[in-house]
Amino acid sequence: MARIEPLYPSDAIAARLEVLAGDIAARMAGNFALIAILKGSFVFAADLIRALAGRRVNPDVDFMTLASYGTGTVSSGTVRLLRDVEIEVAGREVLIVDDILDSGRTIAYARRHLLERGAAAVRVCVLLDKTAGREAQKRESADFIGFSCPPAFVVGYGMDHAHKFRGLPFVAVLSEH
C-alpha cells in the first residue's frame, strides 16, 4: 500500500510562486512565450501564470506533452513528443515550465526542440529540482527553481503515480509499504 508523506505544503508553494513570478517578471522579455510541459506541470503552470498576471506579465501560453515515465516510478530513458506547441516561437524568448527536473532528459529534449523551431532563447522554470538523478557532467539546469527535491518519488500538485495523486494540494513523497 502506498504511503503519502507531505513534503511541501500548499502555503509554502503559494509563497514560493510569488517569489518565482517576481524573478521571472524581472528577467524575461515582455513578449515571451510560456510553454508548460504536460501533464505534470499543469497545476504549477496555472498558478504561476496567475501569479505573473498579478505582476501585469501576460505571456503567450501553450503546452507540450512529453512522456518518459508511463505508469512506473523510473524514467524509461526515452522522451516522446506526444503534443507539440501550436504558437510561433521563432525569434522569441521562451520559458519552459515543468514540474520536476530529475534526469534532465525531458528538459533537454524540450529545450533542443524549441531551439530547433527557432526560439531566440529558452529558459526553464521548475517546481522541483532533484539533482540526485543527474550526472554532473551532463547536468541540465533550471533558471528558476521552486524547491529542491530529495531523492524520492514525489506526487501531488499535478504530479502523479500511475495517474493518481495529481489533485493533492501539496507535494508529497510517495513510499510503498
Strand-strand pairing, 60-67 and 80-83: antiparallel
Max Cα–Cα distance, the chain, nearest Å:
50
d(CA 49, CA 43): 10
| H or E element, residue 25 | helix 10-27
Strand-strand pairing, 144-148 and 121-129: parallel
Catalytic site residues? 102
What three-state secondary structure class fits 88? coil
What three-state secondary structure class fits 84? coil
What three-state secondary structure class fits 35? strand
- Grid coordinates standing for 46? 496555472
